[in-house]
């Protein structure tokens, strides 16, 4: 009897031990599997990130090599850009890191083929039919409470320029393009089409590299002469209009902006800033609705509106937004015009204040 009880207790003890063993083995397996699963997940994630990085590097490389310009206002922006600008904090253009480019060569011929030269037109955009909206007519429109709107696109030409021009054409609207020095046949066609379609073609520096163009008046002069000569060579029209990268009130310039304003004043070149901004240069693509909200929030507060937008490979939503913008402006009976020599100056720092 005693033996059988002892035997049963022994059995139970063995069962308990077997159970403990199982639990310990399962626990150990869990400990081994958990990091393995984590490793697999992390491995997959690193692989995906590497792919994205490669894509971004390829885009950045192709941009710096093909266009020889700094990546405009879309990459690597400081989060707090307001400190950079003295005025119009709600409507500022942002600046970015620099990409090294070859030294400017004012002697180069920009590689324009004879074929392209045949396309050169000799229309002064400022005197075209679309600039014929007289000051009286504009005054009358303002008296009637209508908005007078000048749409401007900076940083082009890009692979989006054609689409932008198509949309403007569809709505029979003329705008203003502040362009940089992009070489290559595809871009030559964009510069010439801007003028042929009746828009105003302005300068926005050749290199768009703040650290270079704003380092000294000499450097600014070199860049200015290059973009002026380039636009004249590809379009046959001498440009008369300028927009400072970052605006006339930017605080990234190494020397006071008044130096460069005086330079343009001496050359008889007019510059425009903006008082309405899509804020589409903040380092990431904004949704269409946000861009529209930004624009109309500013437009509500102004009668004469110079709207800052960007013509960039990276800003597809700006293009997508354009038809809705034009639709709404048409619905509110706004007068939409290209900037001409008679357009009311919108300048963060007045050219007249600099002698």
Question: Closer to Zn ion at the Cβ: 104 or 246?
Answer: 246
Question: Closer to Zn ion at the Cβ: 133 or 206?
Answer: 206
Q: C-alpha angle 117/102/207, rounded to 5°?
A: 65
Question: Closer to Zn ion at the Cβ: 299 or 315?
Answer: 315
| Contact range with Zn ion by CB under 5 A, out of 83-91, 128-136, 154-162, 252-260 | 154-162
Task: Spell out the alpha helix ranges (H) of the chain.
Answer: 2-66, 114-118, 135-143, 161-170, 185-196, 210-213, 217-235, 258-267, 288-299, 316-331
Q: Which of residues 61-80 bind Zn ion (CB under 5 A)?
A: none
Question: Closer to Zn ion at the Cβ: 240 or 244?
Answer: 244
| Contact range with Zn ion by CB under 5 A, out of 15-23, 121-129, 150-158, 254-262 | 150-158
Question: Closer to Zn ion at the Cβ: 94 or 126?
Answer: 94
Task: State phi, psi for 91 to the nearest 5 degrees.
Answer: -140, 60
Structure tokens at 89: 């904090």
Q: Is 273 in the site for Zn ion (CB under 5 A)?
A: no
Tokens 């054609």 correspond to 162
For residue 351, count CB atoms less than 10 angstroms from its CB and return exposed for 0-12, middle for 13-18, buried for 19 or more: middle
Tokens 């304003």 correspond to 261
Question: Closer to Zn ion at the Cβ: 239 or 245?
Answer: 245
Write down the least CB distance from residue 205 to Zn ion, Å: 8
How many residues bind Zn ion (CB under 5 A)? The answer is: 3
Contact 278, 74 (CB under 8 A): no
Kindly list the distances between the CA atom of residue 192 and the CA atoms of 75, 118, 197, 235, 290, in Å, as whole numbers in the listed order. 28, 11, 9, 5, 32
Question: Closer to Zn ion at the Cβ: 131 or 247?
Answer: 247
Write down the least CB distance from residue 148 to Zn ion, Å: 23
Dmax (CA) of the chain: 122
Site track for Zn ion across 109-148, x = CB under 5 A:
----------------------------------------
Q: Is 155 in the site for Zn ion (CB under 5 A)?
A: yes
Name the DSSP letter for residue 344: P
Q: Is 154 in the site for Zn ion (CB under 5 A)?
A: yes
| Contact range with Zn ion by CB under 5 A, out of 142-150, 151-159, 316-324, 346-354 | 151-159
Collapse the DSSP code of 12 into the 3-class scheme (helix H, G, I; strand E, B; otherwise coil) and give the result.
Answer: helix
- Separation of alpha carbons 131 and 150, rounded Å: 12
Q: Which of residues 229-268 bind Zn ion (CB under 5 A)?
A: 245
- Separation of alpha carbons 61 and 342, rounded Å: 41
- Tell whether omega for the bond before 237 is within 30 degrees of 0, i.e. cis: no
Contact 303, 142 (CB under 8 A): yes
Q: Which of residues 173-232 bind Zn ion (CB under 5 A)?
A: none
Tokens 């913008």 correspond to 325
Question: Closer to Zn ion at the Cβ: 154 or 190?
Answer: 154
Q: Is 282 in the site for Zn ion (CB under 5 A)?
A: no
Tokens 């801007």 correspond to 194
Write down the least CB distance from residue 152 to Zn ion, Å: 11
Write down the least CB distance from residue 76 to Zn ion, Å: 14
Write down the least CB distance from residue 73 to Zn ion, Å: 6
Structure tokens at 313: 């490979």
Write down the least CB distance from residue 169 to Zn ion, Å: 24
Write down the least CB distance from residue 349 to Zn ion, Å: 17
Question: Closer to Zn ion at the Cβ: 142 or 251?
Answer: 251
- Separation of alpha carbons 188 and 254, rounded Å: 32
Tell me the residue nearest to Zn ion as measured from the CB.
Answer: 154
Q: Which residues bind Zn ion (CB under 5 A)?
A: 154-155, 245
């Amino acid at each position: 009897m005693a033996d059988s009880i002892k035997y049963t207790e022994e059995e139970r003890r063995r069962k308990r031990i077997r159970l403990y063993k199982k639990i310990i083995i399962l626990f150990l397996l869990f400990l081994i599997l958990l990091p393995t699963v984590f490793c697999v997940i992390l491995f997959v994630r690193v692989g995906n990130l590497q792919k994205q990085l490669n894509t971004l590097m390829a885009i950045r490389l192709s941009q710096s090599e093909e266009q020889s310009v700094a990546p405009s206002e879309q990459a690597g922006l400081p989060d707090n850009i307001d400190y950079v600008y003295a005025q119009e904090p709600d409507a500022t253009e942002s600046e970015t890191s620099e990409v090294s480019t070859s030294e400017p060569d004012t002697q180069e011929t920009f590689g324009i083929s004879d074929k392209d030269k045949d396309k050169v037109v000799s229309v002064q955009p400022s005197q075209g039919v679309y600039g014929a909206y007289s000051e009286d007519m504009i005054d009358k429109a303002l008296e009637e409470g209508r908005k007078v709107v000048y749409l401007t696109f900076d940083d082009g030409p890009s692979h989006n320029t054609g689409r932008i021009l198509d949309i403007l054409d569809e709505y029979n609207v003329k705008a203003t393009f502040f362009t940089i020095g992009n070489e290559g046949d595809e871009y030559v066609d964009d510069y010439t089409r801007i003028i042929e379609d009746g828009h105003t073609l302005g300068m926005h520096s050749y290199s768009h590299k703040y650290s270079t163009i704003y380092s000294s008046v000499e450097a600014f002069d070199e860049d200015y002469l290059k973009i002026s000569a380039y636009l004249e060579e590809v379009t046959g029209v001498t440009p008369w209009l300028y927009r400072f990268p970052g605006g006339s009130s930017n605080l990234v310039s190494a020397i006071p902006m008044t130096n460069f304003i005086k330079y343009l004043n001496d050359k008889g070149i007019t510059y425009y800033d903006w008082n309405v901004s899509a804020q589409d240069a903040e380092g990431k693509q904004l949704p269409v609705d946000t861009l529209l909200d930004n624009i109309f929030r500013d437009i509500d507060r102004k009668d004469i509106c110079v709207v800052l937008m960007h013509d960039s490979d990276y800003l597809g939503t700006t293009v997508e937004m354009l038809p809705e913008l034009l639709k709404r402006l048409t619905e509110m009976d706004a007068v939409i015009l290209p900037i001409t020599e008679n357009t009311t100056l919108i300048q963060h720092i007045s050219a007249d204040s600099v002698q």
